Amino acid sequence: MSGHYGPRSMPASALLAVLAAALLHASWNLIVKSSSDRLVAAATQVVLVGMAFIPVLIWTGLPLEAWEYVIASAVVQVGYLYSLASAYDRADLSFVYPLARGTAPLLIAVGGLIGLSTPATGIGWVALALICGGVIGIGLTAESHRGVNWSLITGVLIAAYITIDGAGVRQAESTLAYTAFLYAVTGLLLMPVVLGAKGIDKIKGALRLEWKRHLFAGGASLVSYGLLLAASLVAPLSLVAAARETGVLFATVGGWWFLHERLSRVRVLAAVVIAAGVALLALGR
């Protein structure tokens, strides 16, 4: 490996891709949170999307050049989905999402200092601090702090799989093939976990009653993550991860509008801080 880490600024195209990914990802989380069984919902969506993209793998072929990264990431993502569902079982969307998503870019940025990811530039660090401070501020306004441990565990696992996939997608010949293969393997590994925790009846019920809803949410998750991986090819991983945290804005509004969660002045101020961080990413081009 050489000492070159690739690009050190955020192109406008990458920023737009990551903002779209943030909206789609927040929508997926809203659907998981509003489901009667969050773990079954998350697993159903991943499995349905994995099955839907089997033709993609037939067309593109398996990205065997990056299979180690796919397996490692899939294992981490099983843990991530379990911890995310556990957090949503205990706390609001507007509490879990900011804490989990705000923890990840900080950890990834620290990884950049020790050579695990692309280090950010000076203005990137300022943007990173603003975004992370904003999302943490939103999280701290939640009335209930139940689920904080699971939220932080989720953030650690997010940082882990983003770091793995940021390296893996650079080894793969196709971002689409990598993402589709990742969903397929994650689904295979996740199903035994869900079967053991919930039983076959709940899984059958989710497929029978809400398969359209879960397929839409799973598709949103797939496209969101594909956009994130594509952006990581042309921008520093720490900045890509930070820009994606604007999903907190969409999740906060979604929690307020659809789930009737309280939107305080402090939370609005924290959202403005996040927007300022995203603006700095654009200025740093």
DSSP for 204-257, written as a single string: HHHHHHHHHHHHHHHHHHHHHHHHHHHHHTTS-HHHHHHHHTTHHHHHHHHHHH
Number of structural domains the chain divides into: 1
Residue 7 lies in a domain: no
How many other CB atoms are there within 10 angstroms of residue 204's CB atom? 11
pLDDT at 1: 37
Residue 9 lies in a domain: no
Question: Which whole-number Å values give the CA distances from 264 to 94, 138, 143, 148, 224, in the listed order?
Answer: 11, 9, 10, 20, 28
pLDDT at 197: 92
Verdict on whether the full-model pTM lies above 0.75: yes
Q: Which two tokens stand for residue 38?
A: 């969050």
Q: How far apart are the first and last CA of the chain?
A: 26
The phi-psi region of residue 10 (left if phi > 0; otherwise alpha if psi is between -120 and 50; otherwise beta) is beta
Find out whether 235 and 227 touch, Cβ atoms under 8 Å.
no
pLDDT at 185: 95
Give the integer Cα–Cα distance in Å for 104 and 157: 8
pLDDT at 2: 37
Helices (H) and strands (E) in the chain, counts: 12, 0
Q: In the chain, how long is the greatest CA-to-CA distance?
A: 53
Residue 11 lies in a domain: no
Residue 118 lies in a domain: yes
> Which range marks the domain in which residue 75 is found?
17-283
pLDDT at 187: 92
pLDDT at 208: 84
- Cite the beta strand spans of the chain per DSSP E: none
pLDDT at 75: 97
Residue 2 lies in a domain: no
Residue 149 lies in a domain: yes
Residue 38 lies in a domain: yes
CA 260 to chain centroid, in Å, comes to 23
Residue ranges for the chain with pLDDT beneath 70: 1-8, 109-121, 142-145, 281-285
Residue 59 lies in a domain: yes
Q: Which two tokens stand for residue 177?
A: 């093939």
Find out whether 202 and 40 touch, Cβ atoms under 8 Å.
yes
Round the average pLDDT of the chain to a whole number and report it: 84
